[in-house]
Amino acid sequence: MQNAVKLDLESIIDASPVSRFQISIMALCGLVAMLDGCDTQTIAFVAPAIVGSWHVAPAAFGPVFGAGLLGGLLGAIVFGITGDRFGRKPVLLGTVLLFSIGSLLTPLCDSLSSLTAARSVTGLGLGGALPCFVSLTSEYAPKRLRATLVTTMFCGFPLGAVIGGFVSAQLIPAVGWRSVFVVGGVLPLFTIPLLIAFAPESARFLELRGDRKAITRLLRRMRSEFEWSGEAPSIGHGARTPVVNLFREGRALGTVLLWITLFLSLLLTYFLVNWVPVVAGHNGLSIGSAVRAASMLNFGSIFGCIVLGRLADRVGTARVVGCGFLLGAIAIALIGRAAASGTLLGAVAFIAGFFSIGAQICTVAMCAAFYDTFSRATGIGWSMGVGRIGAIVGPVLGGVLLAAGMAPSALFLLVGATSLGAAITSFAIGRFVLRVRQPQSDGAPEYGASAAASRHAG
């Protein structure tokens, strides 16, 4: 053993089998993703009940939807940069506490203006948590399985939406819409002690900070402490990395294309999850049927992100993501024609979720792999921040177009075209960015979701 070859930290993580310790990290991050998804989309589930209780027009909910997403935009950018400066774990703890507080404030609201303010606070925490738990998962995932593991972890987001939908369908008729937010605010409070006790800081972040004792403790939990060479990467200024580094060293084109893809994909995702229940209710379906339709959308995305994520590690991320968006465009275009039948709407929504939202989740994994450790949370935060602009535009635009009298069939046809646009930019990433890059170490830019993705990205 004394003559064994010593490896750097990235090589240890990439070469070793996935340990229980790494699985526990991804499970904790998946739990936070589930809470994030549940709380992010709860407002869409309760919107029909609030519309009836407060006697407001459905179109008036456009600003409420947009306010939470605006908070998410700011949270992703600000806390993404903060995560690269101070570490993933402390920022993750703070953001979980923040969205818990915002959710608990929501039942106290009695007007659209107060509801908008509460959702802004909640969105700030929800958006800020995302780059931290995605970065943490990515940095403990072997490169050969990174797309699979990150997308599987991020399945917690749509799973949370599914669970939230079914729970909302039971709670709203029984005890009212306010109970949904009480549950959504209490659960994160119970999660914080688990994160404090069991979630580690990113080993690669600790390596950049030169904390060798902490790295040794982490590697001991992975049973790999004797394999480490003790070498640190040559880049040591991650704490002060400016945003302009996202455009340096050949990253500019990939950054721009990722931003466009996430803008379009989050526009269509948040349009669907916010307006499918409202349009279904407006077409005469019950609140339960409307919520179940939105839940099927998210349920489909759970299967989609697992299947597409696994395919991404095998045949190339950009190719798989592009095909997903392309096929999803067809299903989305059919939603408007199916909105009068609960069964048909649920089936079409499932297919749309499988392909389009499943592809959007894989885009998050591709984004995590594209950036290196010292700029990963910043890169994810800015990408998701730009994407959240699309997430704001989607619900607000839906309200404007519905108020202007646009038919649901035409509205969902327009959103289907957005999925087609995301397919085009995804194929462009594979053709003009990933194909011309070679896999590099974690101390330098990473341009694919895995070594296989870099070889077969086109």
Per-residue pLDDT at 231: 66
At residue 230, does pLDDT exceed 80?
A: no
Q: Which residue has the higher pLDDT, 143 or 359?
A: 359
CA distance 370 to 434: 9
pLDDT score of 263: 96
The more confidently predicted of residues 4 and 379 is: 379
pLDDT at 286: 73
Average pLDDT of the segment spanning 78-96: 94
| CATH classification (class only), 9-455 | mainly alpha
- Identify the CA nearest to 161 among candidates 360, 311, 14, 438: 360
Look at 120-124, 132-136, 184-188, 448-452 and tell me which has the smallest mean pLDDT: 448-452
pLDDT band at 216 (very low <50, low <70, confident <90, very high): confident
Instruction: Compare 9 and 379 and report the one with higher pLDDT.
Output: 379
Lowest-pLDDT range of 31-40, 273-282, 400-409, 419-428: 273-282
Give mean pLDDT, residues 23-39.
93
pLDDT of residue 254 exceeding 90, the answer is yes
Closest CA to 317 of 259, 266, 258, 270: 258
> What is the distance between the alpha carbons of residues 43 and 245, in angstroms, rounded to a whole number?
36
Residue owning tokens 């729970």? 167
Q: Is residue 444 over pLDDT 60?
A: no
Q: Which residue matches tokens 């895995």?
A: 450
Residue 184 has pLDDT above 70, yes or no: yes
pLDDT computed for residue 447 by the predictor: 36
Q: What is the DSSP letter of 58?
A: G
Sign of the C-alpha dihedral, residues 191, 192, 198, 203? positive
pLDDT level of residue 2 (50, 70, 90 thresholds): very low
Tokens of residue 271, six digits = 């349009």
- Which one is predicted more confidently, 95 or 229? 95
Residue 361: per-residue pLDDT: 92
Query: What DSSP letter does each residue of 130-182 carry, written as one string?
Result: HHHHHHHHHHTS-GGGHHHHHHHHHTHHHHHHHHHHHHHHHHHHHH-THHHHH
Which of 102-116, 229-243, 335-349 bottoms out in mean pLDDT, i.e. has the lowest? 229-243
pLDDT band at 322 (very low <50, low <70, confident <90, very high): very high
pLDDT tens track for 218-228: 888 887 766 77
Report in angstroms the alpha-carbon separations of 200 from 33, 207, 395: 17, 13, 36
With 70 as the cut, is the pLDDT of residue 436 above it?
Answer: no
- Give the range with max mean pLDDT: 56-60, 123-127, 402-406: 123-127
Q: What Rg do the C-alpha atoms of the chain give, in angstroms? A: 21
pLDDT of 37 reads 86
pLDDT of residue 396: 77
Residue 458 has pLDDT above 70, yes or no: no
Who wins on pLDDT, 185 or 243? 185
Instruction: Decide: 365 and 309 in contact? Cβ < 8 Å.
Output: yes
pLDDT of 455 above 50: no
Question: Mean pLDDT across the chain, nearest whole number?
Answer: 84
The pLDDT of 381-387, averaged and rounded, is 92
pTM reported for the whole predicted model = 0.81
Q: Is the pLDDT of residue 190 over 90?
A: yes
**Higher pLDDT, residue 444 or 215:** 215
Q: What is the pLDDT of residue 77?
A: 93
pLDDT at 87 over 70: yes
Mean pLDDT of 396-411: 84
Q: Where are the domains of the chain?
A: 9-455
Residue 200 has pLDDT above 90, yes or no: yes
Nearest one of 458, 269, 297 to 361, comparing CA atoms: 269
Mind listing the pLDDT tens digit for each residue in 148-169?
999 999 999 888 877 887 888 8
Closest by CA to 50, choosing from 217, 181, 218, is 181
